[in-house]
Amino acid sequence: MRVHIATDHAGMELSAHLITELAAKGYEMVDHGPQAYDAEDDYPSFCINAALAVVADQTAGIDALGIVLGGSGNGEQIAANKVKGVRAALAWNLSTATLAREHNDANVVAVGGRQHSVAEATEIIEAFLAEPFSNAERHVRRIGKIATYETTGEVVD
């Protein structure tokens, strides 16, 4: 699986750890930055680029997911969710990580680097990456309604 990762300055240590750790486990890691620490950096471009790459890969039939990191993960999740086709979920424990994949077919996970130890954040992200989508009819239907709104602006009951 290809994994696109992006961060801001607050998640750089976690990002570097994840790139090494996940690559060692066989994931193809693609780093969307930043490449150098800057306390004044602006995370939206990094996160949007990672999200765009996830959608491009998935559209091309490549098995891909994304990770966006920040201090809380909130802004990074918001930025990623602006990309058509992205379902980014903020995960703060194992349950929210696995349910994001199982029920929502989330394709990007957001985690707050200042909210967890490196070990805890790694466990949350690994759980997200490993969990398959259930393909349960009710979840497919709900995701379809979100996609319809995203594409057409129509709210489906």
Contact 22, 3 (CB under 8 A): yes
* CA–CA distance, 96 with 91 (Å, rounded to integer): 5
Q: How far is CA 136 from the centre of its chain?
A: 21
Q: Tokens 């802004």 — which residue?
A: 75
List, by residue number, the catalytic residues: 76, 103
* CA–CA distance, 90 with 145 (Å, rounded to integer): 21
